[in-house]
Amino acid sequence: MHVDKAKKRIAKQVKKGFHGYPLVSLEYFGKTPDSASEVVISFTEEEGAEPQKQTFVSGGDAREDETIQSTLLKIIERAGAKTVIEVNGISTLSET
């Protein structure tokens, strides 16, 4: 699947707003606000449940990585998510 198609389908899910659980959350991280080197996808099955998280790392910008975007879409679809949330912008990675 092309990166643009995957991004559009994810954006469409995000625009729907909150419709209950299961909920999937996406947050992008990078060293600068211009490029996301990581994305964390969180899955919460029901209210109050501990979210399950998975991190994907890209050598470039994760938002433009076809494999990562297609994988995120597949996870959303297979999880049967009723709500998809995307944190705006890129959170800064803390250097440890």
Indicate the number of domains in the chain. Answer: 1
> Each residue of 33-46: pLDDT tens digit?
899 999 999 999 99
> Each residue of 9-27: pLDDT tens digit?
999 999 999 999 999 999 9
Strands 23-30 and 52-57: unpaired
What residues form DSSP beta bridges with 83? Answer: 23
48 within a domain of the structure (yes/no): yes
93 within a domain of the structure (yes/no): no
92 within a domain of the structure (yes/no): no
28 within a domain of the structure (yes/no): yes
Cα dihedral 69, 38, 86, 84, rounded to 10, equals 50
- Cβ atoms of 73 and 9 within 8 Å: the answer is yes
pLDDT for 93 equals 83
46 within a domain of the structure (yes/no): yes
For 83, the domain range is 3-87
Q: CB-based contacts of 39: which residues, under 8 Å, 6+ apart?
A: 26, 27, 28, 29, 55, 56, 58, 62, 63, 68, 72
CATH number at residue 43: 3.30.720
